[in-house]
Every structure is written in structure tokens, then in C-alpha cells.
């Protein structure tokens, strides 16, 4: 008969403990992300009434630095179009509906 080996104890903790961000950095990133989202949302709210009539359910990718936006039926295509046109900047994707949400919970 083969002897059973002792089971290794489960390791606890982070995989890379040296890569822990301080709370100040996390808070700074959160405020930057919120400010970015608000800039995108402002542009979306401005153009939504005009676009929702003809393109309900389509997706809109907003680039807030230029104020430009791209629309497409497919969410990933809108995302790809925005990446092609603005390769060095961030963008935000919304759905052209009443709330702007793109998925389900």
C-alpha cells in the first residue's frame, strides 16, 4: 500500500505583498475615476435626447477630452472604434436608453 502524504496547509495572505497600495493612493484613484466618469456622463446626457430617438439600444463611446463620441449597434464595436480613433486616451461606453447602463445586474 502507498502511504498517504500529509496535506499542505493553505497559505494565507497576498500573492504579492510588496504591491499593496496605500489608502491615500486608492482614494486619489477613486476621485480621479469619479471625475472622469462625471465628464463622460455630462457629454452623454447632452447628446442622449437627440440620439435616443433613432438609435435606441445602441452604444455610445464618449471621449471626454475632445467631447467626441462614436456610436454603434454592438458594444464591443463602439469600444474598438474609440480605441482606433483615440488610442492614447480613455473613454467610457454607455447604452442609448433612459439610464445609460450597458448590462444587467
Please give the pLDDT value at position 92. Answer: 93
N-term to C-term CA, the chain: 52
Contact of 55 with 63, CB cutoff 8 Å:
no
* Residue ranges per structural domain of the chain: 24-95
Label residues 3-15 b or e (16+ Cβ within 10 Å = b): eeeeeeeeeeeee
Contact of 60 with 44, CB cutoff 8 Å:
yes
Q: What is the pTM of this model?
A: 0.76
**Local confidence pLDDT in tens for the 105 residues of the chain:** 566 677 777 777 777 778 888 999 999 999 999 999 999 999 999 999 999 999 999 999 999 999 999 999 999 999 999 999 998 889 999 999 888 887 666
C-alpha distances (whole Å) from 22 to each of 18, 25, 26, 27, 84 are 11, 5, 7, 9, 34
Amino acid at each position: 500500500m502507498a502511504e498517504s502524504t500529509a496535506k499542505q496547509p493553505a497559505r494565507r495572505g497576498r500573492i504579492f505583498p510588496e504591491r499593496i497600495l496605500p489608502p491615500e493612493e486608492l482614494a486619489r484613484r477613486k476621485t480621479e475615476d469619479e471625475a472622469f466618469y462625471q465628464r463622460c456622463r455630462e457629454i452623454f446626457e447632452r447628446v442622449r435626447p437627440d440620439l435616443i430617438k433613432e438609435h435606441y439600444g445602441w452604444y455610445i463611446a464618449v471621449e471626454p477630452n475632445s467631447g467626441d463620441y462614436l456610436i454603434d449597434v454592438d458594444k464591443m464595436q463602439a469600444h474598438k472604434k474609440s480605441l482606433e480613433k483615440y488610442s492614447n486616451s480613455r473613454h467610457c461606453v454607455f447604452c442609448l436608453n433612459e439610464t445609460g447602463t450597458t448590462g444587467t445586474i
